[in-house]
Amino acid sequence: MKKVYFETYGCQMNKYDSELVAGILKSSGYEETHEAAESDLILINTCSVREHAETRVFGRLDALRALKSQRPELIIGVLGCMAVRLKETISERKPFVNFTVGPDNYRALPEILSKLGRNGSDGSLSLADVDNYEVYGELFPAHSDGVSAWVAVMRGCNNFCSYCIVPYVRGRERSRRISDIINEVKKLAALNYREIILLGQNVNSYQDGGADFADLIRKVADVDGIERVRFATSHPKDLSIKLIKAIAEHPIICKHIHLPVQSGSDKILKQMNRNYSRRHYLELVQTIREQISDVGLYTDIIVGFPGENEHDYQNTVDLVKNVEFDGSFIFKYSPREGTAATKFTETVSETEKVERLKNLNKIQDQITLKRNLALIGKTVTILVEGPSKKAKPNQYMGRTETNKIVVFNSQKPPKNGFVDVTIIDAKSHTLFGSLVHNKN
Ligand code: SF4
């Protein structure tokens, strides 16, 4: 078999797509390697959401050129959003890249590779058309090893938030059929995956016939062998009471919601084209907390959006303090060419953006720590993912159903599965637990 090496940048959808491509290439005689130096094919799956991610990819391609100079037969391909947005730039600036293929064109990869095989690798091929019907419905990705698997339920987005490139590079919103999703989940259960994470840019818009996302998630949670189901990401304008009730009622659906707020200022939310108000968001949070006890609530925030003055920023700070999220992913605004927001005049200096970012991160860290400290003494069930990242001997890590990371000691490696731990210490990013008993 030939060897393919992947490098994946950006969001979870891209990671899922790399698994999807690995599945497609398996049937064309490629197996995955984790060593670029021993590969026949290098695929860089790219992200266009932030300029920084694109710059990193260009730098990385320069580094890979050395491998190609040593082995001219090595094939290098660029996948993902940059293949759509920057295909001409890639072919001009990096002529050694053999092909660029966009997120909706992965079925064509075997054909592209066989063309390159026939014609030699002397020219660059590009196939990066947005296809508003492609959902890769029946395909089974080569999921990475572990206890959790991501499963895409829809692709694309119709929301056109003014700062976001996704609708332009990933096309309009379309849903995969329930039957295809359930088939994938059943296969994953048979392969001993315990947790399924349903994935879409806005899962709340999911539709298959008369079924919506709340119907879908209940069906996934009912698959034998699956013991946890979670999802990402929700749009505050679309998160339904029906879905909140499904999370509250079904024991397999995790009490964990990622609900990007982006700003606490109505003026900025309008500029961002988010289509909800601060008040709507706060009422939604109240409903969620009333219906789902001990829910883990996470958000995304952008600071320094064009027009964000000190008052707008303080509204965001106030919202963060008011809601007390379990965690926030906070970014400073950077314009993406091709989005509506590039027409807005930037009013916040880079220094001020950095200051707002640092300050808000500090506030969120204090809140997260407070919420984590409140868990000390409680016993929680965690799904063990493996050795802890810092890899101290006999130390393992897993996640609570609210998506908090817990590190604990165990003499024997726990079989991948569930254990109960009592929380004995807490930092802002990690909880520390003492093993109660192994559920396996
Ligand atoms: S909901 Fe907005 S931010 Fe999210 S993918 Fe769609 S356009 Fe982008």
Indicate if ligand 1 lies below 6 Å from the C-beta of 11: no
pLDDT value at residue 129:
86
Per the CB < 8 A criterion, the answer to whether 272 and 308 are in contact is no
Which alpha helices (DSSP H) does 324-432 contain, by range?
Answer: 350-373
Ligand 1 atom showing the smallest separation from residue 164 Cα:
8
Residue 17 alpha carbon to ligand 1 centre in Å: 18
Is 315 in a helix, a strand, or coil?
helix
Higher pLDDT, 113 or 416: 113
Section 87-97 average pLDDT? 91
Residue 51 clears pLDDT 90, i.e. is over it: no
- Could you read off the pLDDT of 330-386 as tens digits, one per residue? 999 999 889 999 999 999 999 999 999 999 999 999 999 999 999 999 999 999 998
pLDDT value at residue 115:
85
Residue 152 alpha carbon to ligand 1 centre in Å: 16
pLDDT category, 439, cuts 50, 70, 90? low
Assigned CATH for 2-127: 3.40.50.12160
What b/e readout covers 142-168, taking b as 16+ CB neighbours within 10 angstroms? bbeeebbbbbbbbbbbebebbbbbbbb
pLDDT value at residue 329:
97
Q: What is the pTM of this model?
A: 0.93
Assigned CATH for 148-373: 3.80.30.20
Section 213-235 average pLDDT? 97
pLDDT category, 235, cuts 50, 70, 90? very high
Q: What is the mean pLDDT of the chain?
A: 94
Say how far apart CA 107 and CA 88 lie, in whole Å: 22
Residue 16 clears pLDDT 70, i.e. is over it: yes
Ligand 1 atom showing the smallest separation from residue 235 Cα:
1
pLDDT value at residue 413:
77
Residue 8 clears pLDDT 90, i.e. is over it: yes
pLDDT category, 252, cuts 50, 70, 90? very high
Say how far apart CA 17 and CA 132 lie, in whole Å: 16
pLDDT value at residue 63:
92
Q: In the structure encoding, which two tokens stand for residue 396, read together?
A: 């393992």
pLDDT value at residue 236:
97
Q: Which residues make up the CATH 3.80.30.20 domain(s) of the chain?
A: 148-373
Indicate if ligand 1 lies below 6 Å from the C-beta of 124: no
Which alpha helices (DSSP H) does 105-232 contain, by range?
Answer: 109-119, 166-170, 178-190, 213-221
Structurally, at CATH architecture level, domain 379-438 sits in Beta Barrel (2.40)
Residue 159 alpha carbon to ligand 1 centre in Å: 6
Indicate if ligand 1 lies below 6 Å from the C-beta of 161: yes
Residue 201 alpha carbon to ligand 1 centre in Å: 6
Percentage of the chain exceeding pLDDT 90: 85
Residue 267 clears pLDDT 60, i.e. is over it: yes
Say how far apart CA 351 and CA 357 lie, in whole Å: 10
pLDDT value at residue 128:
85
Indicate if ligand 1 lies below 6 Å from the C-beta of 235: yes
Residue 106 clears pLDDT 80, i.e. is over it: yes
Percentage of the chain exceeding pLDDT 70: 97
Section 202-208 average pLDDT? 94
Residue 262 alpha carbon to ligand 1 centre in Å: 11
Residue 160 alpha carbon to ligand 1 centre in Å: 6
pLDDT value at residue 149:
96
Residue 202 clears pLDDT 60, i.e. is over it: yes
Q: Which residues make up the CATH 3.40.50.12160 domain(s) of the chain?
A: 2-127
pLDDT category, 248, cuts 50, 70, 90? very high
Section 125-133 average pLDDT? 87
Q: Which residues make up the CATH 2.40.50.140 domain(s) of the chain?
A: 379-438
Q: In the structure encoding, which two tokens stand for residue 155, read together?
A: 């692709």
Indicate if ligand 1 lies below 6 Å from the C-beta of 172: no
pLDDT value at residue 118:
63
Residue 161 alpha carbon to ligand 1 centre in Å: 6
Indicate if ligand 1 lies below 6 Å from the C-beta of 202: yes
pLDDT value at residue 423:
98
Neighbours of 343 (CB within 10 A): 9
Mutate to test the pocket of ligand 1, among 47, 164, 235 (most ligand atoms within 8 A of CB): 164
Residue 238 alpha carbon to ligand 1 centre in Å: 12
